[in-house]
Amino acid sequence: MATTHTREQRAQQTIRKIEKLAAETLAQIQASDNPTLQIPIRALSNVSWNEDRRLIELGDRRQSREFFNLNMAKKFMQTFLVAAACKELLKSGKTTSIRDLFYMTKHTIKGSRENTFDDQTESDPIIEDLEVTVDALREELHLFAAKRGSMVGPMTIVDAGDTINLARMGSGGWSIPSITENHVIQFKQCEAEYILLVEKEAVWHRLNEDKFWKKHKCILVTGNGQATRGVRRLLQRMHNELKIPLYVLVDNDPWGLYIFSVVKQGSISLAYESMRMAVPTARFLGLRTRDFKTFGLSDDVRIALEKEDENRARQMLSYPWFAAKHWQTEIKDMLKAGFKMEIEALSNKDISFVTDVYIPQKITKRDWLV
């Protein structure tokens, strides 16, 4: 029952953090002070690039949220309402979606026509405020975002007490849950030598059908587009705990680069979680603009960059995490070529070209970017 124990311990720890917040506020009230929360600012102005750790990090700046302040009283109340609901979840050992939490905490305030929350766009930022204020990830508050993504590979895991052999998952694979913390998912036997994250589900299917993961001993993951928090946390845990490298295969366009960069060093809006989610050593397998020539792809697969792509790419040139010369060259190559390509473009050569040639050649020749 080690798992249950750990899970309960984790919950107790988070409950204590919430109770500490409440106790401090009560102390302010008893001292007849204006009850005030100090909430770290989650905005570009308080985000910085840590060159050494290669992570996007949240700074130290905080904002005050006061009870006796007409503009802040409602948010003050909402913060404690969300905190109370999370404590209830933690005590009952249940987890829920952020949509559900909105419904759990929404009600009309007695003797008024005012709602605690009018819609979810009000409760979501409060959750993020609580995360940074008590220093607990959303998952530690027993909340989760959408679930998406599948995984197979030569590896056995334990998920909520069930032992699952990921080498025997058929054509569908194991559905990656929203919460992949170590109190839910544990890694057992693993024969994989690396992790391969592919952006596109259809490419994952191709690689799974061709049993790529078996031949090349890798864990095959797709995020069905941008990797969810659950997928990112799982990638980081596998990378750290199993000590194997992570390769990422995305479309050759600014969105693909963005997906890669979030996996690698985190995002601006969730900078406070980079430490728990990012894999700074992630290796970029492509597609790259120069792959068009290297692999002799036909003109048919080129898609002209749109204005929006160009703007996005130019913006990326200014990000400190893309400041290294090889990234500047990569992005400028794309802009200069004026086209983008999807991973599926490789099927124009042969349906299993991605499996038989592209990925093995890239890895063998160490042809990746970090």
* From 45, 110, 170, 296, residue interacting with a second copy (rule: CB under 8 A): 170
* From 11, 47, 86, 185, residue interacting with a second copy (rule: CB under 8 A): 185
Which residue, 144 or 322, has its beta carbon nearer to a second copy? 144
Q: Does 103 bind a second copy (CB under 8 A)?
A: yes
Nearest-approach distance from CB 239 to a second copy, in angstroms: 19
Residues 50-69: x where in contact with a second copy by CB under 8 A, - otherwise, as a string: --------------------
Q: Residues 103, 247, 258, 272: which is the catalytic one?
A: 103
* From 16, 19, 53, 161, residue interacting with a second copy (rule: CB under 8 A): 161
Residue 251, classed as helix, strand or coil, is coil
Q: Which of residues 280-339 bind a second copy (CB under 8 A)?
A: 298-301
Which residue, 170 or 296, has its beta carbon nearer to a second copy? 170
Amino acid identity of residue 338, one-letter, is: G
Which residue, 16 or 94, has its beta carbon nearer to a second copy? 94
Q: Which helix (H) or strand (E) holds 57?
A: strand 55-58
Binding segment for a second copy (CB under 8 A), chosen from 9-17, 96-104, 269-277, 326-334, is 96-104
Q: Which of residues 344-363 bind a second copy (CB under 8 A)?
A: 344-345, 347-348, 351-352
Taking the C-alpha atoms of residue 42 and residue 208, their distance in angstroms, rounded to an integer, is 39
Residue located via tokens 């559900």: 100
Q: What is the DSSP string of 253-311?
A: SHHHHHHHHHHHH--STTGGGHHHH--TT-EEEE--TTHHHHTT--GGG-EEPPHHHHH
Cα–Cα distances in angstroms (integers) from residue 362 to residues 305, 359, 369, in the given order: 25, 5, 11
How many other CB atoms are found less than 10 A from the CB of residue 121?
9
Nearest-approach distance from CB 177 to a second copy, in angstroms: 4
Q: Which of residues 186-245 bind a second copy (CB under 8 A)?
A: 201-202, 205-206, 209-210, 224
- Two structure tokens written together for 239: 């990378």
Nearest-approach distance from CB 63 to a second copy, in angstroms: 29
* From 154, 264, 342, 363, residue interacting with a second copy (rule: CB under 8 A): 342
Taking the C-alpha atoms of residue 42 and residue 60, their distance in angstroms, rounded to an integer, is 10
Nearest-approach distance from CB 35 to a second copy, in angstroms: 26
How many other CB atoms are found less than 10 A from the CB of residue 187?
15
* From 178, 228, 252, 289, residue interacting with a second copy (rule: CB under 8 A): 178
Residue located via tokens 């409950």: 15
The burial of 345, by beta-carbon neighbours within 10 Å (0-12 exposed, 13-18 middle, 19 or more buried), is given as buried
103 is catalytic: yes
> CB–CB of 83/89 below 8 Å?
no
Residue located via tokens 């506020």: 25
Under the phi-then-psi rule, with left for phi > 0, alpha for psi from -120 to 50, and beta for the rest, what region is 289? alpha
Which residue, 163 or 311, has its beta carbon nearer to a second copy? 163
Q: Does 99 bind a second copy (CB under 8 A)?
A: yes
The answer for residues whose C-beta is within 8 angstroms of residue 110's C-beta and 6 or more apart is: none
Nearest-approach distance from CB 348 to a second copy, in angstroms: 5
Nearest-approach distance from CB 190 to a second copy, in angstroms: 17
Q: Which of 162, 218, 219, 155 minimizes the C-alpha distance to 185? A: 162
Which residue, 110 or 336, has its beta carbon nearer to a second copy? 110
Q: Does 89 bind a second copy (CB under 8 A)?
A: yes
Instruction: Catalog residues that contact a second copy under the rule CB under 8 A.
Output: 88-89, 92, 94-97, 99-100, 102-104, 106-108, 115, 144, 146-148, 150, 157-164, 168-179, 184-185, 201-202, 205-206, 209-210, 224, 298-301, 342, 344-345, 347-348, 351-352
Catalytic center residues: 103
